[in-house]
């Protein structure tokens, strides 16, 4: 029985991760400019945040969800400001030669940044609650079933980012420095727009 919940979690996690938002853009850009490892770390960070939010939804942690929602304005404001900062820094970043050895430094910092950035969208809790309710997963879940479900969400989300970073890495060695410069410019603009939208949604 728990295996069924695990499989449902994989499908939910994969489906939730598919829309290409700012995290997906950062994943693609980092993979193209710094290698597949950075892209995978970003995917792991996003999947960890999905795991945390799905835990809140699956285990019925209403105190935490209510607290997050009551502070959603400040949380989204901080997230939007962080996106603006990352977007400007990305836009101004100098490209590195993709044929050189991949710089694997700062992986843990990258991971924590993505976890925090993904968590700045508390509306994700409602998305998980809605999906769980639609699939009949919103009531009377045992701890074992809920655990299987959220682990599946983590694996499903990670699987999407594995596919995304693998696809981006295929094109990495085909880009020269000029091409990477445009990757930085385009990614920077898209991330800045995401930040503007996040802050603008509060008005």
Per-residue pLDDT reduced to its tens digit, 142-177: 889 889 999 999 999 999 999 999 999 888 877 777
**What mean pLDDT value characterizes the chain?**
85
The string of pLDDT tens digits covering residues 62-109 is 667 677 777 778 888 888 899 899 999 999 987 765 555 455 558 899
User: How would residue 139 be classed by pLDDT, with cut points 50, 70 and 90?
Assistant: low
Closest CA to 184 of 13, 34, 11: 34
Q: What pLDDT is attached to residue 71?
A: 77
> Length of the chain in residues, anyone?
203
| Domain regions of the chain by residue span | 2-200
Neighbours of 140 (CB within 10 A): 7
Question: What is the Cα–Cα distance from 183 to 180, expressed in whole angstroms?
Answer: 5
Question: What is the Cα–Cα distance from 40 to 109, expressed in whole angstroms?
Answer: 14
Q: What pLDDT is attached to residue 138?
A: 61
Neighbours of 15 (CB within 10 A): 14
Alpha helices in 59-142 (DSSP H): 62-70, 72-92, 107-119, 123-134
Q: What pLDDT is attached to residue 103?
A: 52
Q: Using the CB atoms, write b or e for 101-115: b if 16+ within 10 Å.
A: eeeeeeeeebbebbb
């Amino acid at each position: 029985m728990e295996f069924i919940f695990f499989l449902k979690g994989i499908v939910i996690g994969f489906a939730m991760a598919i829309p290409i938002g700012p995290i997906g853009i950062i994943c693609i850009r980092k993979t193209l400019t710094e290698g597949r490892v950075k892209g995978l770390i970003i995917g792991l960070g996003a999947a960890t945040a999905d795991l945390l939010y799905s835990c809140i939804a699956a285990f019925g942690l209403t105190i935490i969800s209510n607290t997050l929602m009551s502070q959603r304005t400040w949380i989204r404001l901080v997230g939007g400001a962080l996106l603006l900062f990352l977007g400007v820094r990305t836009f101004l970043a100098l490209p590195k030669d993709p044929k050189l050895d991949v710089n694997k430094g700062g992986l843990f910092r990258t991971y924590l940044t993505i976890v925090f950035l993904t968590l700045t969208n508390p509306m994700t809790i409602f998305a998980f609650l809605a999906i769980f309710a639609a699939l009949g997963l919103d009531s009377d879940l045992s701890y074992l079933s809920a655990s299987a479900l959220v682990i599946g969400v983590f694996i499903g989300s990670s699987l999407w980012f594995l596919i995304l970073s693998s696809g981006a890495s295929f094109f990495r060695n085909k880009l020269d420095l000029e091409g990477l410069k445009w990757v930085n410019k385009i990614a920077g603009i898209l991330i800045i727009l995401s930040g503007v939208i996040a802050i603008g949604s509060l008005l």
